[in-house]
Amino acid sequence: MDTRSEALKLMREALPKIITMGTEVDEIFRRFREIRLRTDDLAFQGAILNIEHAFFMVVQSINILRENLSLLEVAAKKKEIE
């Protein structure tokens, strides 16, 4: 069963949504960082830093997902997947 076209169609559908989601998550990350930099309370800064780290990991995961989707397209063109 040739699923290349189906996978590519889904990839093309998902990619813009993933990019939008990544941009929105990155914006929230930036806003938390601004709040942390304006905060004097060290304990509260630590809590926000933990949140920043979690958002950073989400952004990294989105970047990895985007890269893997691109590799899927390359593999489909090379007929390495079915």
Q: Return all residues near 18 (Cβ < 8 A) that are at least 6 apart.
A: 62, 65, 66, 69
Establish if 22 belongs to a structural domain. yes
pLDDT at residue 81, as a whole number: 54
Q: How many domains does the chain have?
A: 1
Establish if 53 belongs to a structural domain. yes
More confident call, 72 vs 2: 72
pLDDT at residue 17, as a whole number: 94
Q: Could you give the CA distance from residue 12 to residue 69 in angstroms, rounded to a whole number?
A: 9
Establish if 82 belongs to a structural domain. no
What is the value of pTM for the model shown? 0.76
Residue range(s) defining the domain that contains residue 30: 4-77
Establish if 45 belongs to a structural domain. yes
Establish if 49 belongs to a structural domain. yes
Q: Could you give the CA distance from residue 57 to residue 71 in angstroms, rounded to a whole number?
A: 21
pLDDT tens, position by position, 7-52: 889 999 999 999 999 999 999 999 999 999 999 999 999 999 999 9
